[in-house]
Structure 1
Amino acid sequence: MRRVVVTGIGAVAPGGTTREQFWDRIVSGKPATRRVTFFDATQYRSQVAAEADFDPVAAGLTPQEIRRNDRYGQFALVASVEAVTDAELDAGTWDGDRAGVALGSAVGATMRLEEEYVVLSDHGRKWEVDGHYAMPFMYSVFVPSAVATEVAVKHGAHGPAAVVSTGCTSGIDAIGLAAQQIEQGDVDVMICGGTESPISPISFACFDAIRATSPRNDDPEGASRPFDAERQGFVMGEGCAVLVLEELEHARRRGARIYCEVTGYANHANAFHMTGLHPDGMELSRAVDEAMAQARCNPEDIGYINAHGSGTKQNDRHETGAFKRSLNGAAYRIPISSIKSVIGHSLGAIGALEMAACALVIDRGAIPPTANLTTRDPECDLDYTPLVAREAHVDNVLSVGSGFGGFQSAMIFSRLKEL
């Protein structure tokens, strides 16, 4: 089996629109959550979000790129440039026919589609919309595959291109797909990750209806509280992370800097319920067990767990049960944290942002904290790294994701070692 390594990282996130700003923010433990500024949210139960202070012009996008891409597509272009630059790849160091793209997104061009519907329907007054008023790039905005096309064109990647949409595991699953394509020999390089810009009225209405988001509007910075006894739901976020994955020998031949190796990945559908989870964590533990088997890791080899940690009671209990089920007694000794406490839950992008964080944990020797974890929940009795980051030498990092539709994913990054 060909080995796969991470050689580049790019990020756009709340509280930091570059890789270094993203890392500094999550390690600081200072939440980037605030009251919604993108639209008037006063009619909603939850009025808080983690918004990125993103300027596409300052980020280097052309007027044409801005015009034809929704915000989530703009994120992907900017993060991909940062990742490819970080990997020191260019036309002279790779074969475009042996490079591909895999990006995850749960809801696609939510913001632009809602804006266009408002125009076409005259603010919802017309049942039959008038297509003559649609923007010229409406088709590419509407079709989710366009984001992979844009990134592929940007970098001259002529290999396989795909968009993965598996709810909140989309980002981690896109990285998993990319790694598998390199392992199989289809390509040598993959630009992969997840991107999302869901902070819009329709998204807020959907999550309000099922009471999944936090109503802690009087304390926006304290609204995202994974594993805390006083948690009330997740806080919606946005953002993007893009990783450059390479076949190990391809990276070595060109002298690339290697962050870590992708050693394990598994995805399972629970085939149980659209949103419901068993509290014992059975479904998620299957993915964890399989990823650990691929990585040849024992429980005591795991140095850090990046939790899904959405801040909903159901998910936090499910995860806690899964870690105990898969890791046995070691579960109590492994530091765990949720960066959603700082940057919110960006749906299909968050899994990629979490994997970017995992690569940086191995590279930088620090574990980000879980912000706002001040009141212990007896049902979440593991070491969830409250409030303050820790220095740590970590060789193997486990990250997990859970998504509506019953998707359960796990991935392991490891410090590169010779076999």
Structure 2
Amino acid sequence: MVGRLTEDQMDILENMIGSSPKSFKLLYSITRDGRSAADFHQRCDNQGPTVTVLYNPRGSIYGGYAGVSWQSSGGYTADDTAFIFQLLFSGKRVVNTFRPKNVSKALYFCHDDSPHFGAQDLKAFSKIVSLNTDGTFNLNGKLAVGTYYHSNNVTNENINNGIMVVTEMEVYAVSDEARKSPPKGTAWRKTPNLNAEYTSKMTEELSLIKPQSGRGITDFRLLLVGPIAAGKSSFINTVMSAFAGRVIHKASVGSSDNGLTNKYMPYPVRQEDGSCLNFRLCDTPGIGEHSAMDVVNLHFLLDGHLPNSFQFSHSHHVSTKTVGIPIVVILTKIDKLHEEIEDNLADIFKCQEIKAVVDQVSETLGIPPNHVFPVKNYHSEMETEVDMHGLALIALRKLICMASDVLEERISGSEDSLAESTAITESDTA
């Protein structure tokens, strides 16, 4: 598994640590290796210097460096090289290094604790961590820089947004050797230039795709499923905008603890002349603690047998069937990863930070990286933007092509089954 730290962030940490070039090897990931202190110690004890990195859902990245090996017991331990750091705050680059006031209490070793710096100046968690329905983790530790570490007059809320919730926590072994960095400007995914010519070609190509004839299927239905406020409805509006030539706001978007979407709603996509294309984007309620989209409703939704405008509720469920469908992941809000990304969408496939997230999603869900697509949806823009359209259309083409392949396979399978059944019948009556 490739960690989420980017080359630029490794450069920053390398400068903070000092002395010589550094390499970073991922030892532990909370999403991959487990949510307990025992899991952490099994992978990270006696591994030499380490960097612990926490990523929270509000776009902040912070953590700590330990210059000596973690142990399962021993109490306070001296480390004159240890420090707490931050790399991003709310999606913007904010670099700070917080050094120890009291070197003799820089680290704390305990078998029940994950990485623990000072008197809970930074303690990730103890014992075991709870997993939220949206895939985030509630760390039961604490951030209180200022006791045994200098705060540099930075409040803790301006480091972790006042929450101990993370989308990922990683621990890297740090070694004294130069790492091999990819050449600057090298694309990790080859795509055409995201310009007006390309988006025009893509919209024309996608407008011509139709389901295989002869089966009564008039359009593809592309189902969007994800957490509350993930950007499903915004993605629908972005795709519609690419074909309409103007910013569309048909699917409801906005901020709400329970989400604004509460129905299964297929949206047709229209061209500038008003004609409908042969696919629909199907919006669904966001998955969350208080959402009507619970595990039961999600299971039956994936069966593909819900009527249009089906009203989801906690008490009303539908019948039982299990049909697998192919998965494509749309990574929305990629501009939140780094403040410079929003202004460089055309170079998104050269950004190693985006690649790290794509690789992580691929590893976590067990799907190929080419099934994961970064996009940015319309939010505050008043006019259409070619780069945004290009990213959305690349993802849309993958969705439609996979739907077409699955439909063809199932039609072929049905015909084969019918042929076998007919052959057996004829044999039995002969």
Question: Normalising by structure 2, what TM-score?
Answer: 0.25
User: Which entry has the higher C-alpha Rg, 1 or 2?
Assistant: 2
Question: Normalising by structure 1, what TM-score?
Answer: 0.25
